[in-house]
Amino acid sequence: MKSDRVKKGIERAPHRSLMYATGISKSNLERPFIGIVSSFTDLIPGHTGMRDLERFIEKGIHSGGGQSFIYSVPGVCDGISMGHVGMHYSLPTRELIADMIESVTIAHALDGLVLLTNCDKITPGMLIAAGRLNIPSIVVTAGPMMTGNYKNIRRDFVTDTFEAMGQCQAGIIDRKELDRLEMAACPGQGSCQGLFTANTMACVSEAIGMSLPYGGTALAGFAEKRRIAQESGERICELVREDMKPRDIMTPMAFDNAIAIDMALGGSTNTTLHIPAIAHECGIKFGMERFDEISRQVPNISSLKPAGIYYMEDFHFAGGIPAAMQELGSAIHDCPTVSGLTTHQIASQAINYNQDVIRPVGNPVKQEGGIAVLKGNLAPLGSVIKQTAVSEAMRHFRGKARAFNSEEEAMKAIMDKTIQAGDVVVIRYEGPKGGPGMREMLAPTAAIMGMGLGDKVCLITDGRFSGGTRGPCIGHISPEAAAGGPIAAVEDGDTIVIDLDNRSLALEISDEELQERLKTAEHPEPKIQTGWLARYARLVTSANTGAVMSDG
């Protein structure tokens, strides 16, 4: 065992003495050392219930013959950090989390890990660490939040806060109604109720084989989640004995499975950042083009919020990821999982209890999967859009550019009602390097939807979008403006043409004029020039690579 290097031999007497000081018994010193990497915090609703789950994971580890040790990593709530300077720090925490897990795990010679996670950057950060360390690991996500209820109508975070904000600004609802909605939208613990980024990554964790069956969708606070936590604790001990490592599970075919599930469910565009970054740590290289290839092959079979009508609770009770894999059939490769069953074995045991929620491939919601990758002179290295959240009327759009160098400038124009039908809102210098940190643009997109402009206005950015975004919103434009990308050359009044069917995003000017503009484009000063984000901006790569850190 890896832990032998801190507990075996005469020369390790000081090490054992310190471990005895933690309360460990001499007999338990012989057991495999299992780290419970907890992201518990009072700051994030998706994580407030983790103290309970830590107990059940501990029970499982000790039942399975291991010795557990809890240590912690931080988390940022994207919803709370949204729309202000805090959002600069969200995506970069993915790298901090991975680095912290690497540091503590190697320093203390742990034999295996249970990764207790839930929200947007925390889950991919933990999976990046699992791929990097390649020691037996299993992911436990804390589960989705139940929907709220107001006026006997189910409510959710995005529709009833961010989009309601736009409705209030437009005079559709008053401030008292907004106050009532914000109180009802989030009733308790768990990740936000739709297939936003947190729940998309939980589904990806299960589909790729790193969580037990139904672990990605079992609801927060329910006894089922406690059972999954305990079973995961037991199973990690078996994985250590079997020497089953993350790279044995996260293979190229497993990554294709994860993307197929993502496309089938209409998940967050943020997966085009996170899945390639996880693959990078496993020594597997692919870019956002792979998403488009699979999206053309795999239909969208579930109408989940924000693009659709159902919530995570509906999807889970219908049969969850196993039922979705069963419906996708041959689109899912037969791969090993941490459960000891293969994906085909899991799918064969599934039951689809509601074929309105999880449709057969012969009766899909949409013929193509959730994400499309667009290229053109505005995005030579690609850009992404959640095409299942775009109305048919907006799949082909020609509009006039309104260019802004920050989210704040664009948001002010939207709230001041200066954005008109036919506009293309261009937000630049918000990429991984230019942000720095590639902020999410949920506030402006939700405000546009709330004001009734969702079928009349497009938004494009070198930043990114929340998993809760819907409508004609194109992100991850690469290269970004701060790296000299063509989006830096867009001027007010330029014609921009968006064509989802042909996967194109074009600025209607000549190549010669575009190059001349880029030569003279004035680049604003970085928004943050001190602290850790200044270092991050120097090392981070573009969105089309997964925004991974360069070695230099």
Residues 6+ apart with CB under 8 A from 52: 226
pLDDT at 87: 92
Is 417 marked as a binding-site residue?
no
Cα separations in angstroms, 208 against 136, 139, 447: 15, 11, 35
Last residue of a domain, one of 135, 170, 187: 187
Nearest CA among 518, 115, 121, 189 for reference residue 338: 115
- To which H or E segment does residue 289 belong? helix 289-297
Residue 318, pLDDT score? 98
Amino acid at 134: N
pLDDT at res. 527: 87
Q: Are 207 and 251 in contact (CB under 8 A)?
A: no
- The verdict on 251 and 284 lying in the same domain is yes
Q: Is 440 annotated as a binding residue?
A: yes
CB atoms within 10 A of CB 264: 31
d(CA 250, CA 335) in angstroms, rounded, equals: 9
Indicate if 134 and 163 belong to the same structural domain: no
- Decide if 427 contacts 413 (C-beta within 8 A): no
The label of the residue with tokens 């991050």 reads 536
478: β partners: 382
Give the whole-angstrom CA distance, residue 238 versus residue 159.
Answer: 43
3-state class (DSSP) for residue 461:
strand
Instruction: Give the residue ranges of the chain where pLDDT is below 70.
Output: 552
- Give the pLDDT confidence score for residue 471 in this predicted structure: 80
Regarding whether 333 and 259 lie in a shared domain, the answer is: yes
Q: What is the layout of strands, in order, in the sheet containing 112-117?
A: 67-72, 33-38, 112-117, 137-141
**Same-domain pairing of 167 and 205:** no
Is 366 part of any domain? no
Query: According to the annotation, is 225 in a ligand binding site?
Result: no
Q: CATH number, domain at 521?
A: 3.50.30.80
The predicted pLDDT at position 552 comes to 62
Q: At what angle do helices 442-450 and 407-415 cross, to 10 degrees?
A: 20
Residue 413, exposed/middle/buried by CB under 10 A (0-12, 13-18, 19+)? middle
Q: How many domains does the chain have?
A: 3
For residue 430, tell me if it sits in a domain. yes
Q: Are residues 277 and 375 in the same domain?
A: no
Pairing of strands 33-38, 112-117: parallel
Task: Assess whether 478 carries a catalytic annotation.
Answer: no
% helix, strand, coil for the chain, step of 5: 45, 15, 40
21, part of any domain: no
Give the per-residue pLDDT at 342.
Answer: 98
Contact 303, 265 (CB under 8 A): no
pLDDT score of 467: 76
Residue 539 included in any domain: yes
Is residue 182 in some structural domain?
yes
Q: Using CA atoms, how far apart are residues 98 and 416, in angstroms rounded to an integer?
A: 41
Q: Is 8 a domain residue?
A: no
Tell which residue, 444, 439, 446, has the closest CA to residue 543.
Answer: 439
Which of these is catalytic: 302, 303, 383, 466? 466
Residues 263 and 228 both lie in one domain: yes
In a domain, 57, yes or no: yes
Tell me which residue range forms the domain holding 335. 33-144+189-349
| Residues 339 and 226 reside in one and the same domain | yes
441 and 397, same structural domain?
Answer: yes
Is there a single domain that holds both residue 529 and residue 391?
A: yes
Which residue stretches of 136-174 are H helix? 157, 163-169
Contact 310, 357 (CB under 8 A): yes
Element at 478 (helix H, strand E):
strand 473-478
Cα–Cα distance for residue pair 256/209, rounded to 1 Å? 12
- Kindly state whether residues 260 and 337 are assigned to the same domain: yes
Confidence (pLDDT) at 100: 98
223 shares a domain with 102: yes
* Shared-domain flag, residues 67 and 121: yes
Closest CA to 337 of 238, 474, 437, 434: 238
pLDDT in tens, 150-209: 999 999 998 899 889 889 988 999 999 999 999 999 999 999 999 999 999 999 999 999
Pair 220, 182: CB distance under 8 Å = no
Nearest to 216 by CA among 418, 299, 207: 207
User: Taking the mean position of all CA atoms in its chain, how far away is CA 549?
Assistant: 18
Residue 107 located in a structural domain: yes
Answer yes or no: is 78 a known binding residue.
Answer: yes
Please enumerate, as own/partner, the contacts of 407-414 that have beta carbons within 8 Å and a separation of 24 or more: 407/83, 407/439, 407/441, 407/443, 407/444, 407/463, 410/444, 410/459, 411/83, 411/443, 411/444, 411/447, 414/444, 414/447, 414/448, 414/451
Using CA atoms of 291, 191, 322, 258 in order, give the dihedral in degrees to the nearest 10: 20
What pTM value is reported for the model? 0.95
pLDDT at 165: 86
pLDDT confidence of residue 470: 80
